[in-house]
Amino acid sequence: KYDEKCANSENLKERPPIVTIMGHVDHGKTSLLDKIRNSRITAKEAGGITQHIGAYMVEKDGKKITFIDTPGHEAFTEMRARGAQVTDIAIIVVAADDGVMPQTREAIAHAQAAEVPFIIAVNKIDKPDANPDLVKSQLAEMGITPVEWGGEYEFVHVSAKTGEGIDDLLETILMQAEIMELKADPTCPAKAVVIESRIEKGKGPVGTVIVKNGTLKKQDSFVCGITYGRVRLIIDDLGKQKKEVKPGEPAEITGFDEAPIAGDTLVVVESDKLAKETADKWKTFLEEREKSKSTKATLEDLQKMILEGELKKLPVIVKADTQGSVEAIKGSLSKLKNEEVKVDVIHSDVGAITENDVILAKASEPKAIILGFNVRPTSGAKTKAKQEGIEIRTYSIIYDLLDDVKELLSGLMTPKVKEEVTATVEVRETFNVPKVGTVAGCYVQDGVVHRGDFVRVIRDGVVIYDSKLASLKRFKDDVKEVGKGFECGIMIEGFNDIKVGDILETYQKIEEKASFEG
Ligand code: GDP
């Protein structure tokens, strides 16, 4: 559900692949990461000094690649254990003078378990005793057969010392990324994975994140596991301050309430309030999970929680004559929810409606409505409610109460917008009016055109523009409407490319009150 909001395929754009380097100790992971980092031109261009933020980006043939700057599979595994898969492609480094070693096998096992595709970098190819063929046959024995031997695995010969093969490696990564069609929607609220975290004097908690989807902006409110906050500073891998981070890009950010945990996912939410609420709820949720040890808490659970928090709430206080009625009403009210609205019973009790109930109702945000079933307000409560503008409604039939609440929920829901075509108009002439634009000389074939109407321009049966009328005239005069069989002059907002023969379809948007079902 959460992702559906963002899965607008029109907005999907290619994003840089995120790469982790793994392999046996001393096979050259750190050297390779250093060599790749120093090979980037962007650092010099930007005049920046490389800043270690836990990840960096390089550009190759106009395409970007993000490398996680902590070698080894520990971080990879740790993150996966927390449910965050940040790596798209793994590089398994094998020293050509040493061959496959225990940690090489381990690294491969990790990548395979995570279903992350990997590329073999046969390193130290500059060494006189390098034996790349031995590496290939050792891996082929494990079922990892090189492409040149008829297999599916890319092997690239590199030297982290001389830089030989680095370009090749980057190209191979980009090729793999292309096959994977890594896409994200930069228009939606960001989701980012924390890869490093520390506390810095004067800055407070600092976290390095890689954005997986959406664009992370300064001032965004977010929840990140049990912590939350608002993005204060964004610093990229060149030490430059930025306003936003796009999908696939790394950045260091500040603004966390507490240090985040590597592997946790940061999710941007609507408000600070929702961020704090969700983080608090998440804490309780984790504690309960820990106790029951039943299932793992997942990112989906967190997203469900955020969605729940994003629902528009109708806060109510329920007072009734018996405990049975209270429970029955609460039970029925809890079922009144859909993907947009829900009832939030903030308090319920047996007995008359008291001043205390009114005070509670007032303290709620938005103000709660008091529902009384077979009970009435005390005179003090009545006066107080009047003063504070609190609504009290009383009922003697549960169905009436529920119907009323449904009506209130409908009022909270976004009205449905319906379109109604008002006229079909033919463009017979066009006039260019200097400094004003193009006026279409039109004939109304059907219906009535109104001044404030929306309009679609249809050319050869295809809608080429959708906008609003900028003006509607008969001869020189502005008019309110023009009916069927009459001529008129029309200008369209933002559109001057009108041509003779175009058809204009004018329409109005009619808001229909939504109705709560259920
Ligand atoms: P890591 O433990 O996998 O991170 O390995 P390092 O990057 O620390 O490298 C281990 C040693 O191998 C260091 O002494 C490096 O200088 C050396 N080394 C790394 N890559 C190469 C290479 O391509 N050629 C040569 N000759 N030495 C290398």
Ligand 1 contact via 191 beta carbon (within 6 Å): no
Ligand 1: centre distance to CA 32 (Å)? 8
CA distance linking residue 368 with residue 390, whole number of Å: 7
| Element containing residue 166 per DSSP (H, E) | helix 166-180
Amino acid found at 414 = T
| Element containing residue 228 per DSSP (H, E) | strand 227-230
Residues 6+ away with beta carbon under 8 Å from 440: 427, 429, 430, 489, 490, 491, 492, 498, 502, 504
pLDDT of residue 517: 78
Q: Which of 160-169, 193-202, 411-420 has the highest mean pLDDT?
A: 160-169
At residue 418, the 3 state secondary structure works out as strand
Residue with token string 């898969």: 85
| Element containing residue 59 per DSSP (H, E) | strand 55-60
Ligand 1 contact via 15 beta carbon (within 6 Å): no
Phi, psi angles (nearest 5°) of residue 179: -60, -35
Ligand 1 contact via 31 beta carbon (within 6 Å): yes
With 90 as the cut, is the pLDDT of residue 339 above it? no
Token pair recorded at residue 111: 């990548």
Running DSSP on this structure, what letter comes out for residue 58? E
CA distance linking residue 70 with residue 29, whole number of Å: 9
How many CB atoms neighbour CB 237 within 10 A? 27
Token pair recorded at residue 271: 């408000």
DSSP H helices, 271-310, are 272-292, 299-310
Bridge partners of residue 432, in order along the sequence: 438
Taking the model in full, what pTM does it have? 0.71
Q: Give 216-242 pLDDT, tens digit per residue.
A: 999 999 999 999 999 999 999 888 899
Query: What is each CA distance from 129 to 28, 126, 512, in whole angstroms?
Result: 16, 9, 78
Q: Which of 22, 24, 25, 26 to mutate to test the pocket of ligand 1 (most atoms within 8 A of CB)?
A: 26
Q: Give 358-379 pLDDT, tens digit per residue.
A: 999 999 888 999 999 999 999 9
pLDDT of residue 515: 84
Q: Give 477-501 pLDDT, tens digit per residue.
A: 999 999 999 999 999 999 989 999 9
pLDDT of residue 43: 47
Q: Work out the average pLDDT over 317-328.
A: 96
Q: Work out the average pLDDT over 90-114.
A: 94
Phi, psi angles (nearest 5°) of residue 70: -120, 110
Bridge partners of residue 377, in order along the sequence: 353
Ligand 1 contact via 161 beta carbon (within 6 Å): yes
pLDDT of residue 516: 85
Ligand 1: centre distance to CA 27 (Å)? 6
Ligand 1 contact via 254 beta carbon (within 6 Å): no
With 60 as the cut, is the pLDDT of residue 41 above it? no
Q: What is the b/e burial string over 188-211, where b = at least 16 CB atoms within 10 angstroms of the residue's CB?
A: bbbbbbbbbbeeeeeeebbbbbbb
CA-proximal residue: ligand 1, atom 14 (nearest): 26
CA-proximal residue: ligand 1, atom 9 (nearest): 28
pLDDT of residue 4: 58
pLDDT-derived band at 6, boundaries 50, 70, 90: low
| Element containing residue 139 per DSSP (H, E) | helix 132-141
With 80 as the cut, is the pLDDT of residue 294 above it? no
Q: Give 409-442 pLDDT, tens digit per residue.
A: 998 888 888 899 999 999 999 999 888 889 999 9
CA-proximal residue: ligand 1, atom 18 (nearest): 28
Ligand 1 contact via 26 beta carbon (within 6 Å): yes
* Mode of pairing for the β-strands spanning 18-23 and 63-68: parallel
**DSSP letters spanning 84-100:** ----SEEEEEEETTT--
pLDDT-derived band at 1, boundaries 50, 70, 90: very low
Which tops the pLDDT comparison, 76 or 439?
Answer: 439
Ligand 1: centre distance to CA 72 (Å)? 14
CA distance linking residue 409 with residue 514, whole number of Å: 9
Ligand 1 contact via 72 beta carbon (within 6 Å): no
Closest by CA position to 470, among listed 415, 433, 445, 514: 433
Ligand 1 contact via 171 beta carbon (within 6 Å): no
Binding residues for GTP, as ranges, are: 23-30, 69-73, 123-126
Q: What's the half-sphere exposure (Cβ side, CA atoms, 13 Å) at 23?
A: 27
